[in-house]
Amino acid sequence: MKCLRKTLGIIAFIAIIGSLVITCEEEASEKTKEDGGGFAFELISGNTEYSISLGSAKASGEITLPASYKGLPVTAIANNAFSSCVNMTGVTIPNKVTKIGENAFQGCTSLVRVTFTSTITESDFSFVYPFPGDLRDKYLAADGGIGIYTRANGDVTTWVGAPDGLKVSAATTSSITLDWISFTGATRYKIYRSASSTGTFTEAGTSTTTSFTDSGLTAGTAYYYKVAAIYSNGASSQSNAISAVTVPGIPAGVTTAAASFNIITVNWSSVTGAAGYRIYRSTSSTGTFTEVGTSTTTSFSDSGLTASTTYYYRVAAYNSGGTGEQSNTVNVTTLSQITIDTQPAAMISMFTGKISGSLSVSASVTPGSTLSYQWYSNTTASNNGGNIINGATDSSYSIPTSLEAGIYYYFVEIRATGGAVVRSNVATVGVISVEMVWINSGTFTMGSPTNEANRGSDETQHDVTISKGFNMGKYEVTQELYQAVMGVNPSIFTSNPATGEVQERRPVESVTWYDAVEFCNKLSEMEGLTKAYKIIGATVTVNWETNGYRLPTEAEWEYACRAGMTTAYNTGDTISDNTGWYTNNSNSRTHEVGKKSANAWGLYDMQGNVWEWCWDWYGSYASESQTDPRGAASGSSRVLRGGGWDNFGQLLRSAFRDYNNPDIRGDNDGFRLLRP
């Protein structure tokens, strides 16, 4: 017959089943070459192993086959080796045997036990009787079976081993139902339970079928089970352990809240033993509840809902044992949907003393709701937080006429009956105040003397007359002023001001010369002044007779900077910490304007903080006296004066000249205004 390849686990000692009568009536046929101890041995496998069969001895009762012969292992039981030994009741097979021949135990009608003492990896169980093939396969597939034949009515028909196929077939919050494969000959089964896989397994009950329900358990709790077969003459070993868990209990404390017009949040209390939760929704309390999602936390957001609609919810906990009962029903109505049709104006710029106008918003809401309004002010361009403006409860808000120079932020909060709330975009109101200082006309010596330390060769001294007085910006143009006029802030230093300083009051930087002249024109327009510049592409011409804002000429700048001083700095012959912001004291950043002392004419930061663009093309000075010089007629670079936060002190001298391409942006380049 065909050889079957199976695997058997190591076999524990098994008690002898029934009474054994030891007699000897059958002798083996003489088929061997050597006889030893009543057994016949035949060399196999290249004369390195022996097969065994019955020799001169007569076998009855329990026999144990020898493990070796003449120093070589016994590894096989020959075909028909013990056939017709009717009085042999049991046999122990040595641990080296890996082959059992055809009909090896044919006719052994008294055989009630075969004990294997090793793992058999290749065994020819081709004999039919008394080794039924189907029962043999069950045994060989089991892990740790015990390998016992029992005899019933003179015929060996039953193989009893540890039950196989133990599994969980059902679970509730308080019970677990187990199933396993039936074993012929077992009269009943014992079920064992433990709280851990390595703990003590105690008997939980018995069953005469292949199913058992263990009840009275705790919801959401893990249990471990084994099962053993009971038969007329003993019991099998326990099966492998399996784990099972009861279904978790019902979630308590379920609440709902409408987060918006299309989102509802559901919350509940944690349930012991839950791996997660299923959320069910219905549009009526008596309707069908369908699952809308799961959560591994105790919260769930249900989105994509309809505004002003009531929804009903239930929650159930689940784990590997199954899904528990659904909770009680809770309901909530989504908020009304508010739509802002028109946002407040994004940017409004006005001058102090000329403030007028209002901010307004228009909105709509789902039918059945009404709207209310509340305006807020804020210190940043954000609609989070903010300060309530008392009495500002209409869809429009009049801008206070008493605002001082600065940038102000406003937004409106819109509420609908039913709880919906939205906030508008932020409206920025820039109140502009350009502080100017009048500078009288006069004559001064421009450039530096030949003995001035660190002087440049382009600083030739010559007398200059400024024939007309003018207004000079008290401060460098600030970021808040530039933002209010241009609607943008190109600066690099837009955060982390020095302690106690106001960010918006830092000088604007990273502006080109073209940015500066465009700013002058736009500011002139806003104040109703005549623009000084005509700008066509990269060509810029100036009308010196207008009343609009412009950049100072290089001569006007140095005249205003010196403020009557003839020393290297407007504070003396040597630089001091009070002269201005430069590499020794700036901490590598710009600073709020006006933090250093003004010069003698009341101008701040003329030296340091940022370089200041002038009108002039860069070129050589004339050596003779001049009146109202306006620089070279043409060139490739525009003049910069005053030095910056990242420069050494000698570059802050009143006579020092720098220049750059007019379309270059530098993080230390800014400007100052002049108006006739």
- Give the three-class secondary structure for 140: helix
| CATH code, domain carrying 273 | 2.60.40.10
Please report, rounded to a whole number, the percentage of residues in the chain having pLDDT higher than 70. Answer: 86
The first and second tokens of residue 578, run together, are 């009070």
| 431, 462, 485 - which closes a domain | 431
Q: What separation in angstroms does the CA of 96 have from each of 39, 44, 67, 93?
A: 17, 14, 7, 9
Q: How confident is the model at residue 77, as a pLDDT? A: 87
The first and second tokens of residue 506, run together, are 């830092």
Q: What letter does residue 71 receive in the DSSP assignment?
A: T
Specify if 88 maps to a domain: yes
Q: Which amino acid is at 281?
A: R
Q: How confident is the model at residue 198, as a pLDDT? A: 92
Q: How confident is the model at residue 113, as a pLDDT? A: 62
CB 434 within 8 A of CB 349: no
- On whether both 150 and 103 belong to a single domain, the answer is yes
CB 246 within 8 A of CB 273: yes
- On whether both 382 and 420 belong to a single domain, the answer is yes
pLDDT tens digit string along 53-105? 887 767 788 888 899 999 999 988 888 888 878 888 777 788 788 787 777 77
The first and second tokens of residue 414, run together, are 């819109």
- On whether both 98 and 188 belong to a single domain, the answer is no
- On whether both 400 and 528 belong to a single domain, the answer is no
The first and second tokens of residue 254, run together, are 């379920």
pLDDT tens digit string along 505-524? 999 999 999 999 999 999 99
389 burial via Cβ count (<10 Å: 0-12, 13-18, 19+): middle
Cα–Cα distance for residue pair 580/642, rounded to 1 Å: 10
- Please name the helix (run of DSSP H) or strand (run of DSSP E) that holds residue 484, with its range, or none: helix 479-486
Specify if 19 maps to a domain: no
- On whether both 599 and 454 belong to a single domain, the answer is yes
In 101-252, which residue ranges form alpha helices assigned H by DSSP? 133-141
Mean pLDDT for the stretch of residues 648-668: 97
CB 328 within 8 A of CB 316: no
pLDDT tens digit string along 352-388? 777 888 999 999 998 888 999 999 999 999 999 999 9
The phi and psi torsions of 482 (rounded to 5 degrees) equal -65, -45
Residue 29 has pLDDT above 80, yes or no: no
Please report, rounded to a whole number, the percentage of residues in the chain having pLDDT higher than 90. Answer: 67
Cα–Cα distance for residue pair 319/324, rounded to 1 Å: 9
Cα–Cα distance for residue pair 624/622, rounded to 1 Å: 6
Q: How confident is the model at residue 167, as a pLDDT? A: 94
Mean pLDDT for the stretch of residues 647-667: 97
- Give the three-class secondary structure for 631: coil
| 139, 160, 181 - which closes a domain | 160
Q: What separation in angstroms does the CA of 428 have from each of 46, 355, 507?
A: 101, 14, 20
Specify if 202 maps to a domain: yes
- On whether both 285 and 400 belong to a single domain, the answer is no
Closest listed residue to residue 250, CA positions, set 233, 274, 227: 274
Specify if 26 maps to a domain: no
| CATH code, domain carrying 571 | 3.90.1580.10
pLDDT tens digit string along 476-486? 999 999 998 99
Q: What is the pTM of this model?
A: 0.49
Helices 479-486 and 513-526: crossing angle in degrees, nearest 10, is 70
The number of folded domains in the chain is: 5
Specify if 2 maps to a domain: no
| Confidence band, pLDDT 50/70/90 cuts, at residue 493 | very high
CA angle 455, 592, 350 (to 5 degrees): 120
Residue 7 has pLDDT above 80, yes or no: no
Residue 240 has pLDDT above 50, yes or no: yes
Q: Residue 307's CB: how many other CB atoms inside 10 A?
A: 21
The C-alpha torsion from 205 through 208 and 212 to 213, rounded to 10°, is -70
pLDDT tens digit string along 146-204? 343 333 333 333 344 568 889 998 999 999 999 998 866 688 999 999 999 999 999 99
The first and second tokens of residue 376, run together, are 């807020």
314 burial via Cβ count (<10 Å: 0-12, 13-18, 19+): buried
CB 570 within 8 A of CB 607: yes
The dihedral built from the CA positions of residue 299, 303, 308 and 309, taken in this order, carries a sign that is negative
Q: How confident is the model at residue 125, as a pLDDT? A: 40
Cα–Cα distance for residue pair 84/143, rounded to 1 Å: 32
Specify if 176 maps to a domain: yes
Specify if 230 maps to a domain: yes
- On whether both 196 and 297 belong to a single domain, the answer is no
- Give the three-class secondary structure for 524: helix
The phi and psi torsions of 576 (rounded to 5 degrees) equal -130, 170
| Confidence band, pLDDT 50/70/90 cuts, at residue 449 | very high
Cα–Cα distance for residue pair 368/538, rounded to 1 Å: 59
- On whether both 218 and 322 belong to a single domain, the answer is no
- On whether both 296 and 343 belong to a single domain, the answer is no
| 333, 351, 371 - which closes a domain | 333
The first and second tokens of residue 84, run together, are 């017709």
The first and second tokens of residue 395, run together, are 């869809």
Specify if 22 maps to a domain: no
| CATH code, domain carrying 90 | 3.80.10.10
Q: What separation in angstroms does the CA of 486 have from each of 426, 432, 615, 664, 669?
A: 17, 12, 20, 18, 17
- On whether both 448 and 410 belong to a single domain, the answer is no
CA–centroid distance for 93 within its chain: 62
Query: Whole domain around residue 375: which residue ranges?
Result: 338-431
Q: Residue 195's CB: how many other CB atoms inside 10 A?
A: 12
Q: What separation in angstroms does the CA of 221 have from each of 22, 241, 247?
A: 54, 16, 8
Q: Residue 191's CB: how many other CB atoms inside 10 A?
A: 24
| Confidence band, pLDDT 50/70/90 cuts, at residue 121 | very low
Q: How confident is the model at residue 426, as a pLDDT? A: 96
pLDDT tens digit string along 530-573? 999 999 999 999 999 999 999 999 999 999 999 999 999 999 99
- On whether both 152 and 239 belong to a single domain, the answer is no
Q: How confident is the model at residue 515, as a pLDDT? A: 98
Q: How confident is the model at residue 410, as a pLDDT? A: 97
Cα–Cα distance for residue pair 657/638, rounded to 1 Å: 10
Q: To the nearest whole number, what is the mean pLDDT of the chain?
A: 86
Residue 19 has pLDDT above 70, yes or no: no
- On whether both 368 and 404 belong to a single domain, the answer is yes
